[in-house]
Structures are given as structure tokens and as C-alpha cells.
Amino acid sequence: YKEKEFVGYRYYATYGVKPRYPFGYGLSYTTFAFDVKSVETFQSFVTAKVRVENTGDTYSGKAVVQAYLSCPAGALPRPYQQLVAYAKTPVLGPGQTADVELRFDLRDESAFDEASGSYVLEAGDYILLVGDSSATAAPAAVFTLPETVSVENARPIDRDRTVEEVRLDAKRPAVPEGLPHLTLKTGDIHQIRHSFEPDGQWNVYKDIVSMMDASERVELLLGAGMHFFAFKGSFTVPGNAANTSSNLMKDHQIPSVSLADGPAGLRILEESVQYRSGKIKPLKNAISIFDYLPGIASKALLGKRSRGTILYQYATAFPVGTAVAQTWNADLAEAFGAAVSAEMSEYGVTFWLAPGMNIHRNPLCGRNFEYFSEDPMMTGSIAAAVCKGVASRPGNYVTIKHFAANNQEFQRNKASSNVSERAFREIYLRPFKRAIRDGSAMAVMTSYNPVNGIYNVENRSLLEDYLRGECGFEGIVMTDWTSTGPGLADPVRAIRAGNDMIMPGMPTDRSAIRKAALSGELDPKDLRRCSARVVRLLLESEQGKERLREWKLDRKG
């Protein structure tokens, strides 16, 4: 990752590379004019009010107003510009106008200084640009920061590899005379301070966990396994990705809940057949590769319509993540999330394994269609909106993924993403931070790949210090499917690092964790902490609310 933080349009704008389609570009049947009416600052917050006019004489349309910021480059190189805010107008007829407001926090645009281990805003002039793409954005105001300010403390993220330092110095926009020029007061910019104390959320549920033995706690940390063609036992939604364990229902009333893949809606089987015995079999293969099995194998795996009751689970096929982001419409993204959440409730899905929110770093990444953008602000804002939509039904959870720096599918279990800590934080981690802060995401899925030589699922500094300490994450962390095992990440080290659930729950993982828990190799505190986090979300889910209500009444008694 030698390009560091100069990804996509940040590189093109900095070095004068003219792309065929600039970032933010979009066609319309009409034209628009933008008039920046005012720019104001309060502490670290900037607000710009823009009047948009449809200057065409025939067609109606919507405009996207985009704000970019050009930051001063002192000790830390900065790109020519970076997206900081956007807003979409309502439909405007010819000659009609609309006022939109663009608001952002300068602290969100701070640079990570590896020397001091903190986020800083360097002294100098910050130029605000407004337009309808990265190519048309023009200077609208200048903010001067008299001295460098540290705005947020951090802890280093562990690494086994270093990245060659390549300094890329950027040109800056020419500032015309007469622009508003504001001076920021350094004393008014409040510093964000993290204590990095162990999170206390899991302590709320320690009473329930304390009633379990080590083997039962281990059950909480693993899914029920992979059963693509044997939907029995705890598998409640045919075609889902997994279920949590059902072995704790009898003694502790901890429900088994369903996890279904995404991101273009719920990925579950449309039709299956339930036999009189209760066994459920699919009417078509859940994974397309099984379509190529010999006929005798398909006959054994698939059910027959005439043998039982047909179960219907038709879910909406929504646009993929990239298309959702291309609307530049956070309200629409939130409505998309709410629609998915309604279907989750309809079919009994608790965890939606989406949205995917890695960065479009390379066009060859095989899962780019699942991801939103090459820009961290765009990615984070759209993801946060989707998260809010899903959370509109309490007890339904998104699972933001793949955490983090998953930018290729080739050798995804082995290829280490070697990236500077600054670029890692500013480009690849920042979208997750925004989705947690603004979207209240309660589940995170770690990626297959190592970063700087260390598997993400084993990196405690990433999962505990960064994710929980800096981002304020209060939910659960789960692995991607079969991330752990022989020759891959270690499931015991994953639990020790704060990766709460090993999915989908393979026999080798179960054996390794149980052995480590019973022998004392796995610290009982780590086991209790991870299992209590899982208990919390299971009990606060739709399926667990009655048990949670009873438990709260017992505690009051």
C-alpha cells in the first residue's frame, strides 16, 4: 500500500491526472447553479449554506452538493482535496431553488501523526471547496488555524511488518480574492480523550454468565456449524449462513438466533420443503457450485415438493452497495436498511451480515460490488445510514464488514495488507468508526486477511484498543466464515484478542477453545468477557426479549 492515503480521486486531483469520470460525477437532464450563501464555524464544526437553482428551462432534476476540504501540508502530506460533506436536493423544476446545509467536524479530517501517536490538525489555511464533483468543486471559504492542535489520542496498532515511506507532496487550490476568511481559535477545538479502560458493557450480564460452566460459555462463542443441506436442530431459517448455539436454551433460556448473508437484501432460500418428520430440505441449491454435482448427489441433497409442506421465504433483491452509494442519498440508504430490517423480522433473522464497507482501492477486487466507495467519508456516511435503518427495529443487528483493509479476494486468507498506520486509520478504518458512531452498529465481522503480518482476528490492539477504546464499540465481534483453523488464524488467540464469536463454529475450533478453557490456557476473564457480550445481544434480540425481561425482574427481586 505504498500510495498510503492517496487513494482514488485523492491521487488524481493531487497530481493532475484527469479521469474520464471525476469522483462525484453524475449526468442530469438539466443544469444547476450553486451559490454559497454563508460559511460559519463553531468550535471545530463548519456549516455552509448553499442555494441551488435549476438553471435549465425544460426538465426537473435533483442536484448533489459536495463539499471538499484542502488541508495544509506541514510535516504530514495531505491530498489536494478530500470529501467532507454532501447533500441532495429535492426535485427542482426549471427555475426553482432549494437551500441545503453542509456540516462537518474538522476533527474528522485530522491527520494521524505516527510520531506522536495522535490525530492532529496542522497549522495553516484550510480551504473549503463546493461543487457537484471533485472536478468542479471551487474554493468557497478559507479557515486559518494559527497553531497545530492535537485533537484525539490513540494507542498504536500492533504490526509485524513496516511499510516503505514515500512522501507525496500535493499542490493546493488557487484561492481567489474576496472569499470569506475565518480564523479558528485553537482553544475552542475540544480534544477527544480515550481512557482505554476495559469496556463495562459485558459486566451488566456477568450474573447470567456466572451461572454457566466453562463448556457452556464456550458454546456461546461458536456458531452451530455449517449445515447447508440439513436444516435441523438450531437452524431456523433455511438458507441462512449460520445460527448461534441452541444448547443453552434448556438450562439458561439463551435463544438460538439466525444470521443471514447480504448485502443486497437477505440471502436465504426462497423455497424449501418441510417433511412430516420436521426435517427441512431445499428445493434448489443454496450455493451455485452445487449445481454442478452429479445428478445422484443433487437428488440426495434436494427435497421434493410432493413430500411435505412448502416453506416460502421470498426476500427483496435490493441494489448492491456501490449502487446505493451512487445515489448520494443517505435518506434513501436509511430507508433501504429499514426495508431489510422489516424482512429480518418477517423471517426471523437477527444478524444481517452486511453492509460490506471496505474501500474501492483496486478495480480487480472481486467483492467491490458489495462495497460503497473509494472514499472513507462516503463509505462511512452511507453505511451509517443503512445501520440506522436496520436498527429502527430494536433487536435487529447489522454486521459491518470486513474489518479491515480487505481489498482483494485473491489469496484472501494469506495475503497481508501492508499499510502505514496513518493510511490504515485515515482510509480503511475511518468508515467503520463513522458507522459505529453515527449508525450505532452493534456487530463487526473481522476479515480473513492479516494486516502488517498479524491476522485481524488475533490483534487485540485493533479489536480492543481501537475498536472498543477509540470507536466506542459496544457490540460483538465475529470472524468471517472459516477464518480460523489449521494454517489460518488461531481461534484461541482470537478469543483472547476480543474476537467474541468464531463462525460458523467448526469442530476443530470448538475442540481447541474448549481444551484451552478447561486447561486454563485461555484466561477465564477473557472467556467471561466475550461470552457476556454475546449474551447481551442475544437477550436484547427479538427472540431473547422475554428472557431478558424475566431476568431483569429477578434482579429487582
DSSP 8-state assignment for residue 484 = B
What does the alpha-carbon distance between residue 356 and residue 373 come to, in Å, rounded to a whole number? Answer: 11
Which residue of the set 108, 375, 480, 500 is catalytic? 480
Chain-centre distance for alpha carbon 30: 35
Report whether 440 contacts 409 (CB < 8 A): no
What does the alpha-carbon distance between residue 210 and residue 390 come to, in Å, rounded to a whole number? Answer: 32
Q: How many CB atoms lie under 10 A from the CB of residue 504?
A: 22
What does the alpha-carbon distance between residue 517 and residue 336 come to, in Å, rounded to a whole number? Answer: 42
Q: Is 176 exposed, middle or buried (0-12, 13-18, 19+ CB in 10 A)?
A: exposed
Cα 536–Cα 538–Cα 540 angle in degrees, nearest 5: 65
Task: Give yes or no for a cis peptide into 98 (omega within 30° of 0).
Answer: no
Amino acid 255 reads P
For cell 425482574, what's the residue? 553
What does the alpha-carbon distance between residue 316 and residue 323 come to, in Å, rounded to a whole number? Answer: 16
What does the alpha-carbon distance between residue 417 and residue 406 come to, in Å, rounded to a whole number? Answer: 8
What does the alpha-carbon distance between residue 502 and residue 397 come to, in Å, rounded to a whole number? Answer: 17
3-state SS string for 518-552: HHCCCCHHHHHHHHHHHHHHHHCCCCCHHHHHHHH
Q: How many CB atoms lie under 10 A from the CB of residue 538?
A: 24
Q: What are phi and psi of 65, to 5 degrees?
A: -95, 125
What does the alpha-carbon distance between residue 230 and residue 232 come to, in Å, rounded to a whole number? Answer: 6
- Helical ranges in 372-486 per DSSP H: 376-391, 421-423, 430-439, 460
- For the question of residue 480 being annotated catalytic, the response is yes
3-state SS string for 94-134: CCCEEEEEEEEEHHHHCEEECCCCEEEECCEEEEEEEECCC
Active centre residues (catalytic) = 480
